[in-house]
């Protein structure tokens, strides 16, 4: 890979190459093959080498939150109240967007479109439309989106220039041609229409560097470059309202190009790369320090990645997760339990969470026993 997807600048050597020929997807699937990542010194964009047959992967193997209608990702705990991602995303969207009455809204790369569904529950005047590359989500769409407002793979010509807003939640990081994605959205919006999107923020959630199907890791400068080059005026890029993500608002309408320096993005990416290069050694050291059975707290990417680093994964008894939608499922062949269901035999625990919150979350668990703990 020698060219930046955003500015077409020349890339140098990879800033990260996985030491093992194993990769983990955003859905915690473990795949053969390593991960390689580059950072562009010109625009500050970071990009990962795509999976082979990426389109086939999304159409056939990528099934996010499809166990049932209610399945959702846990966003935060607030005074013991569980806040799920859909709830938070709708609250933020309504704060950021002033949708007119009877707005035509398209969820682009929508999955089962739970955020759009909740938006329609709060704004019954909104006319919903959905688009994705997989047929597997139609069952969920049918409960609130008319069939004529659904599209898979091919976009209807009559949708060009139709929409007041196109919303997109954690989709743009998955595509190997972000310019095609954004230019397509531009065609679908009416003049003055709004693109509202969320993408991961690598510098708040460093695990994003390793997610093999996240082929784009955006910085402020690379997002501005991408949007302006495709005819948008950037209204807002908020890196504080949604933990671990950029929330972007851009209006259809050309603007004079900004010149944003990449602000030493690549130096920061190298620091994150160094952290991950030493991570497996730290896991191995903790594993060797005791022979008791252990559990992993966190059944997301961090927990899965820890599991792939273990020399003796058979000593893991279970995973723990506070998300009730994850409990009673399995990961890597191990049951997922609520934290208060941790088996009595367990005296060692790996914390598989974002390092920025790992200590705080563990301290709030009150497991009522002494544990040897690995912190990420």
Contact 202, 208 (CB under 8 A): yes
pLDDT greater than 80 at residue 66: no
- 210 with 154, same domain? yes
pLDDT greater than 90 at residue 68: no
What is the overall mean pLDDT for the chain? Answer: 93
Dist CA 207 CA 26 (whole Å): 10
* Rounded mean pLDDT, 68-84: 86
- 343 with 248, same domain? no
pLDDT of residue 54: 80
* Rounded mean pLDDT, 24-39: 95
**Residue 208 counted as domain residue:** yes
* Rounded mean pLDDT, 117-141: 96
Contact 246, 356 (CB under 8 A): no
Q: State the CATH number of the domain containing residue 162.
A: 3.40.50.150
* Rounded mean pLDDT, 322-341: 94
Q: State the CATH number of the domain containing residue 350.
A: 3.40.50.720
Residues in contact with 282: Cβ distance below 8 Å, sequence separation at least 6, in sequence order: 374
Q: Which residue has the tokens 């950037």?
A: 234
Looking at the whole model, is its pTM more than 0.85? yes
pLDDT of residue 59: 78
Q: Rg of the chain's alpha carbons, rounded to an integer?
A: 21
Nearest to 347 by CA among 291, 282, 281: 291
- 240 with 339, same domain? no
**Residue 88 counted as domain residue:** yes
Please list the residues that pair with 351 across neighbouring strands: 297
**Residue 68 counted as domain residue:** no
Range of the domain at 327: 292-374
**Residue 318 counted as domain residue:** yes
pLDDT of residue 58: 84
* Rounded mean pLDDT, 326-347: 94
- 252 with 303, same domain? no
Instruction: Provide the angle, in degrees to the nearest 10, between the axes of the packed helices 178-188 and 220-229.
Output: 50
Residue bearing the bigger pLDDT, 261 or 49: 49
Contact 105, 126 (CB under 8 A): yes
Residue 267: pLDDT band (50, 70, 90) is: very high
- 143 with 252, same domain? yes
| pLDDT tens sequence across 6-18 | 999 999 999 999 9
Contact 140, 202 (CB under 8 A): no
- 327 with 254, same domain? no
Query: Taking the mean position of all CA atoms in its chain, how far away is CA 28?
Result: 12
SS3 374: strand
**Residue 274 counted as domain residue:** no
- How many structural domains comprise the chain? 2
Contact 355, 206 (CB under 8 A): yes
pLDDT greater than 70 at residue 289: yes
Instruction: Provide the angle, in degrees to the nearest 10, between the axes of the packed helices 85-96 and 114-122.
Output: 60
What is the DSSP code string of 137-173?
A: GHHHHTTTS-GGGEEESSPPGGGTT-EEEEEEES-GG
- 178 with 242, same domain? yes
pLDDT of residue 342: 92
Q: Which one of 19-28, 193-202, 285-294 scores highest in mean pLDDT?
A: 193-202
Nearest to 54 by CA among 175, 218, 167: 175
- 298 with 360, same domain? yes
Residue 129: pLDDT band (50, 70, 90) is: very high
Contact 358, 306 (CB under 8 A): no
- 145 with 234, same domain? yes
- 365 with 324, same domain? yes
pLDDT greater than 80 at residue 158: yes
Residue bearing the bigger pLDDT, 20 or 255: 20
Q: Which residue has the tokens 């004529």?
A: 148
Say what percent of the chain tops pLDDT 70. 98
Chosen domain end from 230, 265, 300: 265
**Residue 131 counted as domain residue:** yes
pLDDT of residue 263: 64
- CB count, 10 Å around CB of 365? 16
Backbone angles phi, psi at 166, to 5 degrees: -110, 125
| pLDDT tens sequence across 208-238 | 999 999 999 999 999 999 999 999 999 999 9
Please, is 35 exposed, middle or buried when counting C-beta atoms within 10 Å of its C-beta (0-12, 13-18, 19+)?
A: buried
pLDDT greater than 70 at residue 284: yes
- 299 with 237, same domain? no
**Residue 19 counted as domain residue:** no
Nearest to 124 by CA among 161, 99, 150, 158: 99
pLDDT of residue 259: 63
**Residue 96 counted as domain residue:** yes
- CB count, 10 Å around CB of 293? 15
- 245 with 363, same domain? no
pLDDT of residue 241: 96
């Amino acid at each position: 890979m020698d060219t930046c997807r955003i500015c077409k600048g020349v890339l140098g050597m990879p800033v990260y190459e996985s030491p093992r020929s194993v990769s983990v997807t955003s859905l915690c699937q473990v795949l053969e093959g390593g991960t390689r990542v580059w950072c562009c010194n010109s625009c500050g964009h970071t990009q990962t080498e795509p999976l082979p047959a990426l389109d086939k992967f999304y159409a056939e193997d990528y099934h996010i939150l499809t166990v049932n209608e209610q399945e959702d990702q846990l966003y935060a705990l607030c005074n013991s109240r569980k806040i799920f991602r859909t709830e938070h995303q709708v609250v933020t969207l309504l704060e950021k967007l002033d949708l007119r009455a009877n707005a035509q809204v398209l969820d682009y790369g929508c999955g089962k479109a739970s955020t759009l569904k909740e938006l329609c529950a709060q704004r019954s005047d909104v006319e919903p439309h959905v688009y994705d590359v997989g047929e597997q989500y139609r069952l969920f769409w049918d409960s609130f989106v008319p069939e004529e407002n659904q599209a898979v793979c091919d976009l209807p010509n009559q949708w060009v220039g139709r929409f007041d807003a196109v919303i997109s939640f954690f989709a743009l990081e998955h595509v190997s041609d972000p310019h095609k994605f954004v230019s397509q959205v531009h065609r679908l919006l009416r003049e003055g229409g709004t693109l509202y999107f969320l993408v991961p923020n690598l510098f708040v959630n460093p695990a994003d560097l390793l997610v093999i199907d996240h082929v784009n890791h955006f910085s402020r400068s690379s997002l501005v470059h991408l949007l302006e080059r495709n005819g948008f005026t950037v209204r807002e890029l908020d890196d504080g309202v949604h933990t671990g993500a950029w929330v972007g608002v851009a209006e259809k309408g050309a603007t004079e190009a900004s010149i944003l320096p990449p602000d030493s993005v690549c130096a920061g990416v190298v620091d994150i790369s160094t952290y991950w290069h030493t991570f497996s050694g730290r896991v191995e050291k903790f594993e060797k320090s005791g022979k008791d059975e252990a559990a992993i707290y966190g059944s997301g990417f961090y927990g899965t990645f820890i599991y792939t680093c273990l020399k003796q994964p058979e000593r893991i008894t279970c995973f723990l997760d506070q998300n009730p939608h994850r409990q009673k499922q399995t990961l890597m062949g191990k049951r997922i339990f609520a934290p208060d269901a941790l088996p009595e035999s367990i005296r060692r625990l790996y914390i598989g969470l974002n390092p920025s919150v790992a200590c705080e979350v563990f301290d709030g668990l009150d497991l009522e026993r002494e544990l040897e703990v690995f912190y990420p």
